[in-house]
Structure 1
Amino acid sequence: MAGSGVGIAFGSAPFFAAGFPLLAAAMAQNFGWTQPQVAQAATIFLLLQTVTYPICGWPLDRFGSRRFAVASIAMFAVALVLLSQVGSLMQFYLAFALIGLVSAGTNVLSYARALALWFSRKRGLALGFAASAQAVGGFLIPIFGQKIIAEHGWTAALLTLAAVELVVCLPLVAWLVKDSPAPLGLHPDGIAPAAHAGASVDDGDPGLTVGAIIGTTTFWKMAIAFALIGMSFYAIAPNVVYILTKTAGMSHAEIAKIQAVVGISVLFGRIGFGHLLDRVHAPLIGVMTVVMSACCALIYATQTAPTIILLAAVMSGFALGGETDLLPYLASRYFGTRSVSRIFGWFLFAFFLGATAGPMAFAWVSAACGSVVIPLVILAALQIIPAALFLSLGHYPTAEPAEGLAMATADSKAA
């Protein structure tokens, strides 16, 4: 889990979320580019990374987390070096297109299979802790990135991050990430086979093929739910300044604090909901997250008190943290670990496909209605659909074999 955390902390997700605004501003000032021009690079990156998520699943399931993550880190570092050498707007776009194509494997996607194979009883908590490492990068990248940009320029900042990828992340991930407990003679959760006479130690590879999974209604229920969740969150997030200045009359400084609270809440939401996933039926956790999202939209639409809006921001962050934990967790619990990376990739594709539509849909409805309140109320009401889809999933198909071993061990120790 430590190796996964190192890779995720400095992956493309925290780089883009925390570093892109600073980098784009410095490069725009250097070359005289406008804000809309540099913003197009963000669109290019998001679209291409979204497309690559389902493509990454096959090599991950075929070659394992460690090798794919190491290759992705190396390619990401090379892409950062190329970005540091751009001299025109077209080169800027091409560099971000390359980053979008090669860096999906530097994020949680690469490590989901290994975590699913290593953890059964505490899989949700393991996924939550690993994903929460993004907050480390989200904190360090802007602080040190801005310092380097101010003292040495944006080229030095990019080369420094590329060096961190190659000198720190790549060797630590190669050393610490283990694809499966089986080669070490262990079962998931670190259970030694001696505790179970006659129990074989292998991956078990339980679960359906991708084709069989995509043919199930369960897969499509989840995919639709995640697409709506992605659309709902990203309908509000990029428009939050516009929303809160209109509905609550808040200043940009006040809204910046609200956004900081959202970021911190995502961290605690990932860990907290990851812990709950191991104790509560996962679809119920899904319902909890969409209810929180609905409450946030309604508060933004109707309330002006800063304290209440702050509470809504906390709920928004917690909900997003829980929803991102759900993607790999549901994929492994309902479909097994055999194709977990590919299914997780398709769920990410659905989530970010909805995310790309969210901001535009919100702007269109807001302009058509002449108000930000109506689209917020619509978003709140829309959460009924993913909630209903989660509730219709039913029980997990079967308990994974290793999970039964873990429970047996606990029983024998208690005896």
Structure 2
Amino acid sequence: MSQTSSKNAVNVKKSGGFHYAYMIVVACCAISLAPVAFTFSCAGIFFKPVTQELGIGIGTFALYLSSLLLAATLTLTVAGKIINKYSARLVLSASVLITAGAFAAMSTFTSVYQFYVAGAFLGVSTAFLLYLMIPTMINRWFKTRVGFFMGLCSAFTGVGGILFNPLGGYIIANYGWRNAYLAFAVLTIVIALPFALFVIKSYPADKGLRPFGDTGEDEQKGAAPQVTGVSYSKAVKSGAFYTGLVFSFGMAFITNINFYLPAYAGSLGMSITLGATVASASMFGTMAGKILLGWVNDRSVVGGMLFGLGCGIVGLGLMAFFAKVGVWVVLIAAALYGISYAGVSVQTPLTIKTIFGNREYAPIYSNIAMAASLSSMIGSAAWGFIIDSTKSYPMTFGIGIAIAALTIVAGYVAMQLGKKLDFTTK
């Protein structure tokens, strides 16, 4: 089903009172809460029980996440064009079903290679549910407060982790990991599918509305509502695009330090429980950071970039040089670092929107997101090698600080180059 008619619709009524855009926010929150959180925020609870039963190492099992991210990277080459061409309701519903099917299948697996195949299917759905859904839908449905609502929706992946990690752990402890995967499959269907199937609408025009915050000034002047931006063909040939790829890669790369925070806490002599608390502090910072970054970006995208990555630099600096002051310093530092972690799902899409506009945002951002997916695939292991080779967490965090600073530079340069691009309508 082509979306051309929806995008070109002109006779839309002025919105008033409750705007259906809020329902789009609820739908995005629900989908982030279940399938996205299950895929990423809850993945760790299965490592020990699955590897023990299959008799394999954790690293061998965790390779299914590499399979997932590789598949997501490849899917993102076409995902933006798909969600632009076809009904978002059908695309997102299919993605939810793929996720549920993968979890259901994982409950029956007896070989690690089967998990690698399932990871590839999860990667296909992840391209749409994690990387494209929130930036695309919020940009289509909102003209104002884009950052805030993008951050709010993204925060629900963390909420899902907080809610469902204990539930999944309970099911694993009492009924086994297979039943936990099956429960996640059922919950994915129950929580996410109704919203994807019955609430999601591709464009405001599908409901006879303008985007939230659109005052209709163009219509009052006798002109049709216009969506402006850089065309995809021109965007991918621009310096801003390639600098944006570097920005996206760097933003995602520093977030992978998060995997090693419990081990870092252990190197300081902290207990396993306290190490988990440090990881939780980072997760709290990420959740709060998504909303804060959205709020700041609604006022200044450059300000959001400096705030998010600046918090990461301060957090890593505190962990590198002031950890011995006390546990409270490490907890604050982890929370500050968590704010920079939020940048992948909030700062990157908002920066790309500012550079290239809304005209062909989905296919452009889909390509930019490939760098983030590839970076996550590489970075999850790369930081481990850096720690092993330097034998020093302070030095590792210093490298992270340098990458964060370079990422700020790349983002700023991309925005300056973007100012030279012509925004046009179709």
| TM band (smaller chain) | 0.7 to 0.9
1:328 to 1:368, Cα distance in 2 relative to 1, 3 A = closer
1:400 to 1:136, Cα distance in 2 relative to 1, 3 A = farther
* Per-residue deviation, 1:243: 2.9
- Does residue 327 (structure 1) correspond to residue 348 (structure 2)? The answer is yes
1:285 to 1:154, Cα distance in 2 relative to 1, 3 A = same
1:180 to 1:199, Cα distance in 2 relative to 1, 3 A = farther
User: In structure 1, what residue type is equivalent to 2:370?
Assistant: F
1:14-44 per-position Cα deviation (integer Å, ceiling 9, x unaligned): 1133322222323233333332332222222
- Match of 1:394, SS? helix
* Per-residue deviation, 1:244: 3.3
What's the counterpart of residue 271 of structure 2? 251
* Per-residue deviation, 1:271: 0.7
- Match of 1:386, SS? helix
Contact 1:286 1:323 in 2 (8 A): no
What's the counterpart of residue 145 of structure 1? 168
What's the counterpart of residue 112 of structure 2? 89
* Per-residue deviation, 1:272: 1.1
1:64 to 1:205, Cα distance in 2 relative to 1, 3 A = farther
1:348 to 1:195, Cα distance in 2 relative to 1, 3 A = closer
1:69-123 per-position Cα deviation (integer Å, ceiling 9, x unaligned): 1111112222222222212222232222322233432225123222101112211
Match of 1:289 among 308, 319, 327: 308
1:278 to 1:160, Cα distance in 2 relative to 1, 3 A = same
Distance 1:28 1:295 in 2: 37
* Per-residue deviation, 1:11: 2.3
- Match of 1:186, SS? coil
* Per-residue deviation, 1:62: 1.4
1:360 to 1:165, Cα distance in 2 relative to 1, 3 A = closer
- Does residue 208 (structure 1) correspond to residue 227 (structure 2)? The answer is no
Contact 1:148 1:157 in 2 (8 A): yes
Which deviates further from its counterpart, 146-155 or 116-125? 146-155
User: In structure 2, what residue type is equivalent to 1:2?
Assistant: V
User: In structure 2, what residue type is equivalent to 1:6?
Assistant: A
- Give TM-score, length-normalised by structure 1: 0.87
User: In structure 2, what residue type is equivalent to 1:126?
Assistant: F
Residues 168-187 of structure 1 correspond to what in structure 2 (within 5 A)?
Answer: 168-187=191-210
Distance 1:231 1:314 in 2: 18
Match of 2:251 among 214, 229, 234: 229
1:210-265 per-position Cα deviation (integer Å, ceiling 9, x unaligned): 2211111222222112212222221x22222333333x333322121011011111
1:28 to 1:390, Cα distance in 2 relative to 1, 3 A = closer
What's the counterpart of residue 156 of structure 2? 133
Contact 2:144 2:213 in 1 (8 A): no
Distance 1:237 1:252 in 2: 16
1:45 to 1:125, Cα distance in 2 relative to 1, 3 A = same
Residues 47-196 of structure 1 correspond to what in structure 2 (within 5 A)?
Answer: 47-189=70-212, 191=214, 193=216, 196=219
Contact 1:112 1:328 in 2 (8 A): yes
- Any unmatched runs of 5+ in structure 1? 403-415
Distance 1:99 1:124 in 2: 27
- Match of 1:279, SS? coil
Which deviates further from its counterpart, 169-178 or 269-278? 169-178
Contact 1:65 1:113 in 2 (8 A): no
Match of 1:30 among 53, 61, 68: 53
1:176-225 per-position Cα deviation (integer Å, ceiling 9, x unaligned): 222211233322215475995355565x3422222211111222222112
What's the counterpart of residue 277 of structure 1? 297
Contact 2:171 2:180 in 1 (8 A): yes
**Considering only aligned residues, what root-mean-square deviation do their CA atoms show, in Å?**
2.7
What's the counterpart of residue 405 of structure 1? none
Contact 1:73 1:103 in 2 (8 A): no
User: In structure 2, what residue type is equivalent to 1:267?
Assistant: M
Match of 2:43 among 5, 9, 20: 20
Contact 1:290 1:383 in 2 (8 A): yes
Q: State the 4+ residue runs in structure 1 displaced beyond 6 angstroms.
A: 398-402
Which deviates further from its counterpart, 76-85 or 143-152? 143-152
What's the counterpart of residue 219 of structure 1? 241
1:183 to 1:365, Cα distance in 2 relative to 1, 3 A = closer
